[in-house]
Amino acid sequence: MQLRGTVLDIGCGIGDMLRARRGTVGVDVNPRLVEYCRSQGLDARLMTAGHLPFESRAFQSIILDNVLEHIPDPEQLLMEAHRVLCRGGRIVVGVPGSRGYALDSDHKQFYSESQLHARMLRAGFAMMRTLYSPFKSRLLDSKLAWYAVYGVYEKRDTTPASETPIRATSIR
C-alpha cells in the first residue's frame, strides 16, 4: 500500500477516494464539489488556489490523482503539499498518459514520466517508485485515454541532490 496514516486527497472531485478510503480528507477548489462531498457525509474542505487549509505536517500521505496536469504552474500547490506533509511522509502523484492528456482541453501541462519525476524532485520530494495503470506500455500510453503514470515520493526537508533509484511496478 502506497498511502498510509492520515491521508489528504488534493483535488478530491466527487469524493471517490474519500469513499474508498474512509478517514481520508479531501480538498478541492470547486465549492460545488466540496458541497456535494459534504452532502454525502464525506470530509471535504474548500481550498484556494495557493493555500491548503491545514496545519503544517498534518498528514502522513497525500494523493494528487489526475490534478497536476490541470495546473499551469504547480509550484505553489507543491510547496503547500510539502508543508502539510509530515517528515518522511508520502505523496502519490498520478498523471495521464499522452492519449488521455490530448483528449481533455482543460489539461494545461503534460508530464512525461521523467518530467514528473524532475518536477517532484525540484519540489523537495525524493522518488520512491513508479507505478503504471494498468501496466507500463508505450502502446497503451498512445491508445488508452485512462492510461496513467503514478510516482510515489517521500518528503525531504530539503530538495535532494539526486533522485533515488526507481522501481517500476503495476497498480491494480
Q: Where are the domains of the chain?
A: 6-47, 57-170
Give the pLDDT band (50/70/90) at residue 167.
very low
Look at residues 8, 1, 169 and name the one whose alpha carbon lies nearest to residue 86: 8
List Cβ neighbours of 45 (8 Å cut-off, separation of 6 or more): 25, 26, 27, 34, 53
Residue with the three cell numbers 530538495:
159
Query: Does residue 166 surpass a pLDDT of 60?
Result: no
Q: Which fold has domain 57-170?
A: Rossmann fold (3.40.50)
Neighbours of 87 (CB within 10 A): 10
Answer for the pair 30, 106: CB distance below 8 angstroms, yes or no. no
Global pTM reads 0.88
pLDDT digits (tens, 9 = 90+) for 100-120: 999 999 999 999 999 999 999
**How do residues 53-108 score in pLDDT, each as one tens digit?**
999 999 999 999 999 999 999 999 999 999 999 999 999 999 999 999 999 999 99
